[in-house]
Structure 1
Amino acid sequence: MNERRLTMMRIIDSRKKFTARELAERFNVSVRTIQRDLDYLQQIGFPLYSEQGAHGGYRALENRILPPLQLTRSEALGLFLMLEILEKVPDFPFDAIRSHLAVQYYGSLPSDVQTNIDQMRSHISIRMIQLYEPAPWTTEILEAAITKQQIRIAYRSANGEKEHNLYPFGIYFENGYWYMPARNEDKVLLFRVDRIQNVERTGPVDLEVPSLAEWGQTPDNRETAEVLLRFSSFGARLAKDDPIFHTVTDDHWSGQVPLEEFPFTARKLIRFGPDVQVLSPPRLRDAVLQLLRDSIDQYKE
């Protein structure tokens, strides 16, 4: 294959659409020559198709085969280690890539690198919290978020199943669950993806919908109160593993907590039992006390 055709493959792969005349001007050859080049590329299997009409042209297929990875030995070992980690994340978006990449790329490696990978697998174990229920809609939600398209979901909550029309910002994985923040009219709601029963794209696109990263940088304007906690030495050790209280210092933790999250915070504190004490505010302390009373009452005859 000549240099012009190799360069054409790179141009085609990097652009959404182009015309034969644009390529002819780029390489200073005739349109006829470019068309022969394009016919050759199609014959050897390059994923290319043409669109007719005044605004037509050539376009590379969306699910085209991308160039192979060129990795060093250390990079290949690192790649397979990342795949081992991804295998522990249930319902990972575009899930087929894990097994496909592992099998296909592994088979293309030199035997000594394959041996290194096999040895590595026998010397490492990665354990992560697993989802309690499947979350099969991660790919559909992520694709809708990328295109900023509205979706309709059937969501199972404590009050039963309900439908919502939403614009998802994206998804994130935390403490064994996938979560989806989304705009519902003028509100932002947070959904557990494993509680979603169905996802349907409803059509409307809103380019003003923020990405997950943009939403994460938005200031939280909810009313908050400063919470002060005192842990026992053992409780402080437990708190170090908690995503909220891990910043405990000298057996104390303080931070601003939205008032509407007090019920959730109280339930988290109950898990520490006698190894944590709410010093302030009284409203949160009362919420914890009420939960303790309710727990005791259920054992009374």
Structure 2
Amino acid sequence: MNGRKLAIMRLMDSRKKFTARELAERFGVSVRTIQRDLDALQEMGFPLYTEVGVNGGYKVLPNRILPPLQLTQHEALGLFLMIKYLQRVPDFPYGSMREHLAEQYFSSLPQDVQDLIVRMREHVTFIQHPGEHLEILTTEILNAAVDKKEIEFTYHSRNGSKTTRAYPIGIYYDGGFWYMPARHKERVLLYRVDRMQQLRLLDSTDESIPSLQAWFKSEDDREGAEVVLHFTEFGSRLARSDVLFNSIQGNEWRGMVPLEEFPFTARKLLAYGPEVKVVSPAPLQHAVREMLEKSLSQYS
């Protein structure tokens, strides 16, 4: 692609509508030359259509093709690895484009770089949770969060299934699962996306819904208690890679935990087995013991 066609693409992206004469005057060429450039861009897949009339001209469709990246070889290799990694993250928003993007990007690279990537792929892989193919939900939730729209969905929990409404704050990926914090009435609740079904976008909006980043930084005003945990040396190493306990100091972790999160915290602690002990409070100790007793009862 020559420099003029690339400049035309960038100009179209910034202005949205233009005439062939305007482009011809801008680039110092004939209208016929510009029309040939536009025909070539359309053949490449650039989504143009023509509006007739006094105020008409060429316009780019909303789902337009953006200008190509100009990368060094190291950047090209890094970008390809990032694309391959995203292919392994289950239910990634807009994920249907990942395989297409990888193939299109790979085919546009010089042959020597393609050969290097083929060899490199034999020495690296990404292992992720397989997911349940709910990409459409993560995409719709993310769009609703950006637009501050309310959604309705069926949620499957330990207590059964029910239909609920909430304003999604956003989504985040942790431990192989997507999570959606959302405002339900006056509270913010956390939902696992793979337990959601039959999502429907509603018309109501709420401009007071915070962004996900703002929510992460906000104070948790739920009633809680200070939790003190003592880890073994091995448990401490595990805890430092855990988003919940990575603020551990030495072999001890202290933090405020909402009372309603005690069952979740107890289940997380069970995964550490003998590598952690709940020093306090007593209700969390009881929750851990109760789960252990239920597990042991299966073998009695």
Smaller-chain TM-score bracket: 0.7 to 0.9
- In the alignment, what sits opposite 2:64? 64
Q: Is the 8 A contact 2:6 2:67 kept in 1?
A: no
* Aligned pairs (5 A) from 1:144-159: 144-159=144-159
The whole-number CA distance in structure 2 between the counterparts of 1:57 and 1:208 is 40
Q: Is the 8 A contact 1:150 1:201 kept in 2?
A: yes
- In the alignment, what sits opposite 1:209? 209
Counting matched residue pairs gives: 294
CA 266–103 in structure 1, closer or farther in 2 if over 3 Å, else same: same
TM-score by length of 2: 0.82
The whole-number CA distance in structure 1 between the counterparts of 2:6 and 2:74 is 29
- In the alignment, what sits opposite 2:125? 125
- In the alignment, what sits opposite 2:141? 141
1:97 maps to a residue whose letter is M
**Identity, % of aligned pairs?**
50
- In the alignment, what sits opposite 1:285? 285
The whole-number CA distance in structure 2 between the counterparts of 1:93 and 1:194 is 13
The whole-number CA distance in structure 2 between the counterparts of 1:234 and 1:9 is 56
CA 272–47 in structure 1, closer or farther in 2 if over 3 Å, else same: closer
- In the alignment, what sits opposite 1:31? none
Q: Is the 8 A contact 1:135 1:178 kept in 2?
A: no
- In the alignment, what sits opposite 2:176? 176
1:239 maps to a residue whose letter is A
1:217 positional shift: 2.1
Q: Is the 8 A contact 1:135 1:195 kept in 2?
A: no
The whole-number CA distance in structure 1 between the counterparts of 2:125 and 2:8 is 45
Deviation by residue 1:14-33 (Cα, 9 ceiling, x = unmatched): 24x5576xx96xx79xxxxx
2:172 maps to a residue whose letter is Y
Computed over aligned residues only, the root mean square deviation of the Cα atoms, in angstroms, reads 3.5
Q: Is the 8 A contact 2:106 2:114 kept in 1?
A: yes
Segments of 5+ residues of structure 1 without an aligned counterpart are 29-33
1:190 positional shift: 1.4
The whole-number CA distance in structure 1 between the counterparts of 2:47 and 2:34 is 11
CA 83–292 in structure 1, closer or farther in 2 if over 3 Å, else same: same
Q: Compare 192-201 and 38-47 and name the one that shifted more.
A: 38-47
The whole-number CA distance in structure 2 between the counterparts of 1:271 and 1:3 is 57
The whole-number CA distance in structure 2 between the counterparts of 1:125 and 1:141 is 29
Q: Is the 8 A contact 2:10 2:67 kept in 1?
A: no
2:211 maps to a residue whose letter is S
The whole-number CA distance in structure 2 between the counterparts of 1:130 and 1:225 is 36
CA 185–38 in structure 1, closer or farther in 2 if over 3 Å, else same: farther
- In the alignment, what sits opposite 2:254? 254
TM-score by length of 1: 0.82
* Aligned pairs (5 A) from 1:29-178: 43-44=39-40, 45=42, 46-49=46-49, 59-131=59-131, 133-136=132-135, 137-178=137-178
1:67 maps to a residue whose letter is P
Q: Compare 239-248 and 112-121 and name the one that shifted more.
A: 239-248
- In the alignment, what sits opposite 2:224? 224
1:227 positional shift: 1.3
Q: Compare 55-64 and 86-95 and name the one that shifted more.
A: 55-64
The whole-number CA distance in structure 2 between the counterparts of 1:2 and 1:99 is 27
1:296 positional shift: 4.1
The whole-number CA distance in structure 2 between the counterparts of 1:3 and 1:76 is 21
CA 288–138 in structure 1, closer or farther in 2 if over 3 Å, else same: same
Segments of 5+ residues of structure 2 without an aligned counterpart are none
Deviation by residue 1:156-183 (Cα, 9 ceiling, x = unmatched): 2223222222222221111000111122
The whole-number CA distance in structure 2 between the counterparts of 1:7 and 1:86 is 30
1:47 positional shift: 2.8
